[in-house]
Structure 1
Amino acid sequence: MKASSPFVFSTGTIGYPLMFVLLIWIVFWAEVRFGFHLNRFGIQPGSIEGLRGILFSPFIHSDIRHLFNNTIPLFVLSLSLFYFYRPISWKVLVIGFFSTGILTWLIGRPAYHIGASGIIYLLASFLFFKGIFSRYYRLVALSLMVVFLYGGLVWYVTPIDPEISWEGHLSGLISGFVLSLIFRKRIASTPKYEWEKPGYNEADDLFMRHFDENGNFIENLPENDTSDEEESKIQYHYKETPKKD
């Protein structure tokens, strides 16, 4: 008897992360190919015009190194989000996208803040805290994996490098934590086997497998339907059970 898993791998699970990564690479290619300079579309705190960066800044990167450093974490973390938290994945992503950008605009230095780093911190923060809150071994393991792979990210939420938007990183971290609290009760339940469910009786379960939906006894079962041990239990139970009119 198998337990159904709350985690399902679908086309969107890998398709959406690939789409995100492809978008940021297309934007960077267009900048290089056509000589665009899109930094001015980043988040510029204190400027009304700079609010447009909330939409555009995650897709803009300063150079190939910046882009490459964001590509793998963005893919891995977004893949984890869509696999483990599929029912709430888009809510987390959309709400976190805007909250990270708005918070960066509110607390950031007067400069152009660009890159997908804020979204990466959002995802890492959400996956870590949500897994801890769940107390479900798979999700806790995911939290530990996030710490192992990206634990060093925590240093960049402080102003240790003037060329790095630590404000964007901090905004993503805060947004992910808040969202993990908001969706704290939306946790995948631990799958249960049939024998773990209340009121389960093994003999009755094996006995009932020998009847079709109309209540007729099935004499010839598939060879691999039950083991010899189970078969003997069924026969014994059947003989001992009084026939009902």
Structure 2
Amino acid sequence: MTWARAALISVCFVALLWAVEVLDVLWSRDLDLYGVRPREGEGLTGVALAPLLHAGWDHLIGNTLPVLVLGFLVLAAGIGRGLAVTAVIWLVGGLGVWLTAPAATLHVGASVLVFGWLVYLMVRGAYTRNVGEIILGLTLFMMYGGILLGVLPGQPGISWQGHLFGAVGGALAAAMVDRRRWTRQAPPAGWSRL
């Protein structure tokens, strides 16, 4: 029943994002002020809250389907594993933005999770050696690899730092969560550990 729970958690998380945006609109966008504000002490609150906040309905609508699909895929391999991966991405992404983004800017949005989950799903098979996860990673790369160009600077008003550090968080999560699983298990016949 992991798939059903993964679907339920993904839907509930998206419902939370929409509820937060409704409150944000009702409160005249005051909630967005709790996003990541680089190198400001109060801006550290945004590390925890920024993925829940969005810069309007278009921003939230653009993140909704990727959050549903990628969040589900990350959780479907195990709820605990998926939550651990999400925590690493959330923290690395937020702190990366806080440390590197230009001063006097504000960063919000679940894109940090989207980029992190995408990279995680694309690379985890390299650690798990699971054929299904390798095929899923290659399929996602062929279908959505182009969006990874969003980690490059260039689009005004887009937090490429959030995209970049979300992706870095996804790669780190695969190395931390799935490499640990790999080293605890006996390797398949013919495989050697490095």
TM-score w.r.t. length of structure 2: 0.86
* Structure with more helix by fraction: 2
Greater relative contact order structure (CA < 8 Å, 6+ sep): 2
Distance 2:173 2:52 in 1: 22
Deviations 1:99-144 (A, max 9, x none): 2111111111220011000111111111111023333221111102
The alignment status of 1:129 with 2:152, answered yes or no, reads: no
Matching residue of 1:96 = 89
CA contact (8 A) 1:96 1:176 kept: yes
Q: Which runs of 5+ in 1 are unaligned?
A: 1-7, 190-245
Matching residue of 1:179 = 173
CA contact (8 A) 1:132 1:143 kept: no
CA contact (8 A) 2:66 2:114 kept: yes
Matching residue of 2:137 = 143
Identity %: 28
Distance 1:146 1:163 in 2: 26
Matching residue of 2:164 = 170
Matching residue of 1:198 = none
Distance 1:105 1:36 in 2: 21
Q: In structure 2, what residue type is equivalent to 1:173?
A: A
Matching residue of 1:15 = 8
Q: In structure 2, what residue type is equivalent to 1:175?
A: G
CA contact (8 A) 2:2 2:77 kept: no
Distance 2:48 2:2 in 1: 29
Q: Which runs of 5+ in 2 are unaligned?
A: 186-194
Matching residue of 1:113 = 107
Q: Which moved more, 1:28-37 or 1:57-66?
A: 28-37
TM-score w.r.t. length of structure 1: 0.69
SS at match of 1:182: helix
Once the 2 structures are TM-superposed, how far is the Cα of residue 22 of structure 1 from its aligned partner?
0.6
Matching residue of 1:48 = 41
Structure (1 or 2) with the larger CA radius of gyration? 1
Cα RMSD between the aligned structures? Answer: 1.7
Distance 1:58 1:139 in 2: 26
CA contact (8 A) 2:2 2:78 kept: no
CA contact (8 A) 1:100 1:118 kept: yes
Q: How many residue pairs get matched?
A: 181
Identify the match of residue 30 of structure 2 among 21, 25, 37.
Answer: 37
Distance 1:80 1:150 in 2: 14
| Regions of 4+ moved over 6 Å | none
Q: Which moved more, 1:132-141 or 1:74-83?
A: 132-141
The alignment status of 1:158 with 2:152, answered yes or no, reads: yes
SS at match of 1:38: helix
Deviations 1:43-70 (A, max 9, x none): 0111011001011111111121111111
